[in-house]
Chains A and B, each alone.
Chain A
Amino acid sequence: MNPDFTDKVPTIEQIADLLTDISCELMSAGAHTMRIIQNVSRMAETFGYKIDVSVFQLSIMMTITSKEDPTKRLTVIKKTRHLVLNFTIVSDLSALSWDTYDQQLGYDEIKKRFHEIISQKRMSRWLVLFLVACANASFCALFKGDFQAIGLVFIATLAGFFVRQEMVKRHINHLVMFTTCAFVASLLAGLGYVLHWGNTPEIALASSVLYLIPGVPLINSILDIIEGHILTGIARLVNATSLIVCIAIGLFTSMLILGLEKL
């Protein structure tokens, strides 16, 4: 950042920019609305400002008002990035907001720590791929699938999640991505039916697409609705539901191709 600004009292524009950045980052990392509002309000409090925030699915709107001089106010709108879940960011930013409040951190210190937090590296994608496949296989075991079914689900999830990672990298539309991944995974898992492997092929087919279920957005949406942020909650709910419909379409397509509808 510009060295001229260090050691000075930050301007209202600087603070508004920092706070909108933080709230957009929280939004795209998958925090629920109440947490976003609480965190940024706490930080604004430290600088002697009061803020009113509206959180939407695609943008965050914030009016920041000085407590000493109410004529000094600014309204900022910032577009959020698309949802990439990252709970490390949520918990670190939440801790940062309390540190700011308790230790009266300065503007530069907060900005430095904010950039450190958002530039942390994610877990290795291959490890994630393997763990997700294990998780889905054990899901299949929870539904009382036999060993053939568990093996099939493991392979189907490996393939499906790999496709998903590649498509995320290429920024392909979410809905297309979910349909394709569900299709790939259920097509592989459906082979159990075609080749008559094991006694529980229907469980393999059913659990092969479960790694795609958008659990966090679903829970966030209900939490938002319960806490009174009904508009944001409904937006999240519609988003999650459309993803689930896409999963169903992918599953449906592969079931029609494999001819399982007669079963």
Chain B
Amino acid sequence: MITTEMIRLMLIDGLLAAIAAIGFAVISNPSRKAIFVSAFLAAIGHALRFFLIKSGLEISLATFVAASCIGLLSILFARLIHCPAEVFSFPSLLPMIPGLFAYRTILSLIKFMQSADPIKNQGFMMDFFHNGLTTVFILFALVVGVSLPVLLFPKLSFSVTRKY
């Protein structure tokens, strides 16, 4: 349920995601307006995902919802500032990249390779598949979620840079 504590946590989450989005956006050298928009979208998307996970939704499904929300909003902003939507929707997805899961996948693989104990190895293999599949599904959820608006409204998303 929404309590003040929950809102506080969501705000912190959104703020951190915004900083992360700014940093990852500047690598791809967008215009200044686009950087702010991507920070804003990242904050909204990540806070939404945080809320959904806390209310009991599975992480890849929550990611999908958050990514489609970012995708829809990015088309709106794209029309406002005449800039292709992917310029700010891509960086705002990056804070949701499943880095920790990817790391745990590699870690369990290393442990599996180095251990000779068959019972422990079963556990490592289970960790490997659990974390690996979560990583892959979150990645797909991100991309399919954000490109959903592009697929639904192709005319709209290719004509945002038109000024007349």
On A, residues with C-beta under 8 Å from B are 30, 32, 34-35, 38, 85-88, 90-91, 94-95, 97-99, 102-103, 122-123, 127-128, 131-136, 138-139, 141-143, 202-203, 205-207, 209-211, 213, 215-216, 218-219, 222-223, 226, 244, 248, 251-252, 255, 261
Q: Are the CB atoms of B23 and A251 closer together than 8 Å?
A: no
B106 engages A251 (CB within 8 Å): yes
Interface residues on B, range: 35 or more
The CA-CA distance from A38 to B84 in the complex, in Å, is 13
Across-interface contacts of B30 in A (CB, < 8 A): 87-88, 91
Among residues 35 to 79 in chain B, which have CB atoms less than 8 Å away from a CB atom of chain A?
A: 46
CB distance from B19 to the nearest CB of A (A): 4
Question: Mask for B10-22, Cβ within 8 A of A = 1, else 0?
Answer: 0001001101111
Across-interface contacts of A32 in B (CB, < 8 A): 86
Number of A-B contacts (CB under 8 A): 147
Assuming the contacts A141-B16, A216-B28, asked whether A210 and B163 have C-beta atoms less than 8 A apart, the reply is: no
Contact among A102, A127, A143, A222 for B164, CB-based, below 8 A: A102
Contacts of A138 in B (CB 8 A): 16-17, 19-20, 23
A134 engages B93 (CB within 8 Å):
no
Interface residues of chain A: helix, strand, loop or mixed (majority): helix
> Residues 92-127 of chain B: 1 if any A CB is under 8 Å from the residue's CB, otherwise 0?
011101011011101100110010000000000000
Residues of B within 8 A of A103 (CB): 164
Output the residue of A122, A123, A139 with the most chain B CB within 10 A: A139
Which interface residue of B84, B111, B140 has the most chain A CB atoms within 10 A? B84
